[in-house]
Amino acid sequence: MPWKAISPIEVYKLLPKTNCKKCGEENCMAFAVKLVNMETKLELCTPLLEEAKYKKSYEQLKEMLTPPVREVELRSDKKVVKIGGEYVLHRHELTYINPPPIAIDVDDTMSKEELIKRINFAESFRYTYIGRQLTLDLIAVRSVSNDPEAFKKTVNFVASNTSLPLVLCTLNPKVMEAGVSALPNGKPLLYAATKDNWMEMADIALKNKLPLAVFSPGDLDMLVSLAKTLLNMGVSEIALDPGTFVGFNGLRTTIDAFTMLRWKACNEDYDLAGWPLIGTPITAWKMVDGDSQTKAWWEMITASMLIIRYADLLIMHSLEGWVYLPLVMLRFNIYTDPRKPVAVEPGLRIIGNPNEMSPVMLTGNFALTYYIVSGDIEAGKVDCYLLLADTEGIAVECAVPGRKLLPDNVAEILKSSGIEKKVKHRILIIPGKAARLAGDIEDATGWRVLVGPLDSKDIPKFIEEKWKPENIKKLMES
């Protein structure tokens, strides 16, 4: 059955109902509401954990709130990365929970310089988007040498040079054992158990209490058989890799496998599919012919499709900023909670030190619009007033045809913001993309409208050319 919203009343009944506020909420009902919206963690209710009389309730609640795709935590000394933990197949059914971390690979035949270069790439990758930091998340250490000692040395070196959690990649149990022994702390993901090595790999995972990935390319029967086997043996956390095929020979198999596995987990309660899915776009480097740019391109393309189709972790090889930039933004978009528009408060923003003759500009309250426009204005050192109309978090170019930027709302915000007392002129600069509304806004507000540039990067130039005393005078008098 597809995920059904749990009633907060059902949850509330099982909570202590003491309103002790230890969870940080005002009362147990508020906590219950947050729990069913997946906005808080059950474990924040400490009495539930500590007091024996609540033990049964806790178990029941845990069962109720466990996602159909189990959550697995990977850790380094400094960072925690969660994978899986998903409730729904489609984001509109609730929201997606944990954005799939991207792991950059290194291998045990690389020189120290190369290792450092790749680690630094992953560590320093950072892109600021609507005020959030988008990053890369993991290092995947592969054994190419197939030599336990070499792998151990590399894992050790990587671990001491990165803050990111690791994925240890080898199909040779002896090599895996050596790698694990180099990591006394932390919780890496072991990649991978296969039809050939599962017994020994399970042994290592059990001994070290580590999560173990199952790799069964193109064979879902084997994948679930292995999953079942490992779980029966006592491995407590697993992840599933049905194989990432790139291009004509298998992309279809891969998209089908990810779709079927996630469907089975979310819509049919099929436990064996209810684990994080691992995508390895890195296989583009094996399967695609051509130069490294071509391989990187197809790696990116494959990764983007797997972000849409349910991957919970991606292992990649490229070392190009352009490969990851669209991916981290796509990932951010898709994992944004659809229940909350990415909006900022509408109203007045003061940029720089404006005076009574400074320009007044209008834009929407889509978070991205605000960050870009204000960033451009600040960069151009323009002192001005920026009015954010309530476009319900929609970008201006969609808000205009979508009638989310209405002249009446503009009139309202001119009044409520108090801008009429701050400036002497009555000229409103509107976005170039809202040019069509110029006349209607003039009619609704009584202000003169000056149509600004199509892109906010041109605002400084626009102000320099157009915002001159003689122009202002002319506009006010016309």
**Least separation in angstroms between CB 64 and another protein:** 24
Alpha carbons 177 and 172: distance in angstroms, whole number: 9
Within 13 Å, how many C-alpha atoms sit on residue 25's CB side?
A: 21
∠ CA 390-391-393, rounded to 5°: 100
Residue 35 or 106 with smaller CB distance to another protein: 106
Q: What is the DSSP letter of 281?
A: G
**Least separation in angstroms between CB 191 and another protein:** 7
**Least separation in angstroms between CB 376 and another protein:** 10
Residue 11 or 189 with smaller CB distance to another protein: 189
What token pair was written down for 185?
């702390």
Residue 46 or 333 with smaller CB distance to another protein: 333
Instruction: Say if residues 341 and 334 touch (Cβ distance below 8 Å).
Output: no
DSSP string, 189-235: EEEEE-TTTHHHHHHHHHHHT--EEEE-TT-HHHHHHHHHHHHHHT-
**Least separation in angstroms between CB 189 and another protein:** 13
**Least separation in angstroms between CB 372 and another protein:** 7
**Least separation in angstroms between CB 96 and another protein:** 10
Residue 106 or 427 with smaller CB distance to another protein: 106
Q: Say if residue 320 is exposed, middle or buried (CB neighbours under 10 Å; 0-12, 13-18, 19+).
A: middle
What is the DSSP pairing of strand 102-107 with strand 313-316? Answer: parallel
Residue 95 or 358 with smaller CB distance to another protein: 95
**Displacement of CA 374 from its chain's centroid (Å):** 24
Instruction: Say if residues 401 and 407 touch (Cβ distance below 8 Å).
Output: no
Residue 60 or 292 with smaller CB distance to another protein: 292
